[in-house]
Amino acid sequence: MFGLMMHRPLLVSSLIEHADRHHGETEVVSREADGSIHRSSWAETHRRARQLANALQELGVKPGDRVGTLGWNHHRHLEAYYAISGMGAVCHTINPRLFPEQIAGIVAHAEDRILLADPQFVPLLESLADRIACLRQVIVMGPLPGNAESAFRLMDYEALLKGASERFDWPQLDERSAAALCYTSGTTGKPKGVLYSHRSTLLHAWAVALPDSLSFSACDAALPVVPLFHANAWGFPYAAALAGSKLVLPNAQLDGASLYGLLESERVTLTAGVPTVWNQLMQYLQAEGRKLHYLKRLGVGGAACPKPIVSYFEDVQQVTVLPGWGMTETSPVAALTQPKARQARLRGDARRKWLGRSGRAPFGVDLEVVDEADNPVPRDGTTFGHLRVRGHWVCSGYYREEADPLVGGWFPTGDVAVMDRDGFMQITDRAKDMIKSGGEWISSIELEQVAASHPAILEAAVIGMPHPHWGERPLLLAVMRPGGETSAEALRRYLEQRVAKWWLPDRIEFVESLPHTATGKLNKAALRLERGL
Ligand code: ADP
């Protein structure tokens, strides 16, 4: 017997409808490319999304079609999010930091026939035109480039909207329909397309908004530093609409001074991004002696956050740091380091140690750490194994790929982790980055964390070097903080006091900078390649 409750599909359009009806005047603030501030609201965002949906329909976009976007975080990109998914098409966000060949490969694989781009990315698209024959129409989300010849039909976003009706009835789609497409950044292989459904997107937004997650409320002003092209900005555009939070979009200006200015002037209470951005902001705040007056919660994920950054924001700025874990394949939020009653009592070093965890599972996803035979390892905080995940917003396959990535109904993450008795998981490494020395494993992340806790070190990377006797031994590459002073010998002594002797790197090298991937992670593949490893 079925229950007698209404059945309404879980649709992305219902988020913007709700935000318009019940939080219509709540602001959506966005920094324009020229630095000026653009003020809009949820009602205005909804109105313009309806206009854009009409314009896209006029241009021939049909349900299921992929519509590409190549842009920073700003109001037009947000409108595109809601217009494209709302009308039943698939919002395909593309990371402009990928190699041009990868961008061409992704556009061709997704068969984007139409794409919305920031003006500065039009030349990039022109240079790829031969390789992306599918793409013919480009809507420019800003001033059109001069009268140069173009391989595409270039259209002005604002002109399109001006001529479009404000009436659009969002279709009542099947909630399993595709809403968005995001390719993995290819850290561990060629980019693969993760195809989110309306249902998965909505349930993920709900989970992200919960008090024990990033916690969104109608009293919050939320600023996603994480780009709209990086796994749907970790759900910010959806969770903010769901909760009726004010949304603040920083565009491409992510340097310390610009970010600080926006966090203060818009009284931002909640933000999230990768560790490298917080490192930059920390350096700016330290150098200028500035205080964050309104920020309450700072989410950090995508990579393990160096401890000095966590301590700085918690202890000096009195901001609660929320480390989290996820992947493009998990929408992405699948774990957050929010305390249970026991952890809420922790202070000082004990709290900081606990903040080194990557998080616990919210309702809706399940996490498990297993051994080589897929048996769960003890939850003792020290036995490591392979992390696997399943749930309502975990991918079950890749777009237009035959191979089934699941094993026994679980998604194997490729990460190695430990889990403690309270269910807090900590990533110790990507499986392929672990260093196997004399039959024992060394965690490169752990070594990097210890090295980066030295006051003179800004960033550190550890990779395995082949060794005739031990199999592999660690090589530590370190970037010195501006004005910092230390030597390989002194750093070695520092490490000696903090890690097991056999973990000590065989070599320590100082480098000017370290390569990062398009999503801000240490690019260990590039480091290995540079050294012919
Ligand atoms: P990619 O496309 O490079 O895989 P993702 O953003 O999907 O990009 O990256 C997911 C990976 O990032 C995870 O599998 C994990 O290795 C790493 N990662 C994410 N969060 C953390 C974290 N808190 N600590 C350590 N590693 C993390």
Q: What is the pLDDT of residues 391-417, one digit of tens each?
A: 999 999 999 999 999 999 999 999 999
Measured in whole angstroms, how far is the alpha carbon of residue 128 from the centre of its chain?
26
> Which residue is closest in CA terms to ligand 1's atom 10?
327
pTM of the model: 0.94
pLDDT at 188: 59
Fill in the amino acid letter for 407: V
Q: What is the pLDDT of residues 218-252, one digit of tens each?
A: 999 999 999 999 999 999 999 999 999 999 999 99
Q: Above 90 in pLDDT, residue 15?
A: yes
Start-end ranges of CATH 3.40.50.12780 in the chain? 12-201
| Structure tokens that stand for 507 in this block | 């070599």
pLDDT at 148: 74
User: According to DSSP H, which parts of 387-523 are helical?
Assistant: 444-452, 488-496
Exposed/middle/buried for residue 344 (C-beta within 10 Å: 0-12, 13-18, 19+): exposed
Which of 234, 274, 298, 325 has most ligand 1 atoms within 8 Å of CB, for mutation? 325
Q: Are 432 and 528 in contact (CB under 8 A)?
A: no
pLDDT at 146: 80
Q: What is the mean pLDDT of the chain?
A: 96
Question: Which of the four pLDDT bands, split at 50, 70 and 90, describes residue 20?
Answer: very high
Exposed/middle/buried for residue 57 (C-beta within 10 Å: 0-12, 13-18, 19+): middle
pLDDT at 186: 67
Start-end ranges of CATH 3.30.300.30 in the chain? 437-530
pLDDT at 190: 80
Average pLDDT over residues 294-303: 97
- Fold category of 437-530 in CATH: GMP Synthetase; Chain A, domain 3 (3.30.300)
Closest C-alpha to 234, from 266, 285, 270: 270
Q: What is the pLDDT of residues 326-353, one digit of tens each?
A: 999 999 999 999 999 999 999 999 999 9
pLDDT at 185: 79
Q: Are 303 and 247 in contact (CB under 8 A)?
A: no
- Fold category of 357-391+399-432 in CATH: Luciferase; domain 3 (2.30.38)
pLDDT at 69: 98
Q: Above 80 in pLDDT, residue 442?
A: yes
Atom of ligand 1 nearest to the CA of 187: 3
Exposed/middle/buried for residue 430 (C-beta within 10 Å: 0-12, 13-18, 19+): middle
Q: Above 90 in pLDDT, residue 495?
A: yes
Check pocket membership of 304 for ligand 1, CB cut-off 6 A: yes
Query: What element of type H or E holds 309?
Result: helix 307-311
For residues 233 and 201, give the distance between their C-alpha atoms in angstroms, rounded to a whole number. 12
For residues 123 and 113, give the distance between their C-alpha atoms in angstroms, rounded to a whole number. 17
Q: Above 80 in pLDDT, residue 169?
A: yes
Q: Give the CATH H-level superfamily of domain 12-201.
A: ANL, N-terminal domain (3.40.50.12780)
Q: Are 119 and 154 in contact (CB under 8 A)?
A: no
> Which residue is closest in CA terms to ligand 1's atom 9?
327
Average pLDDT over residues 446-461: 95
In the chain, % of residues over pLDDT 90: 93
Q: Above 80 in pLDDT, residue 156?
A: yes
Atom of ligand 1 nearest to the CA of 325: 20
| 372 alpha carbon – ligand 1 mean position (Å) | 21
Which of 95, 234, 327, 338 has most ligand 1 atoms within 8 Å of CB, for mutation? 327
Active-site residue set: 184, 329, 436, 441
Start-end ranges of CATH 2.30.38.10 in the chain? 357-391+399-432
Check pocket membership of 184 for ligand 1, CB cut-off 6 A: yes
Q: What is the pLDDT of residues 180-225, one digit of tens each?
A: 999 997 665 688 999 999 999 999 999 999 999 999 999 999 999 9
Q: Which residues share a beta bridge with 31? A: 37
pLDDT at 187: 63
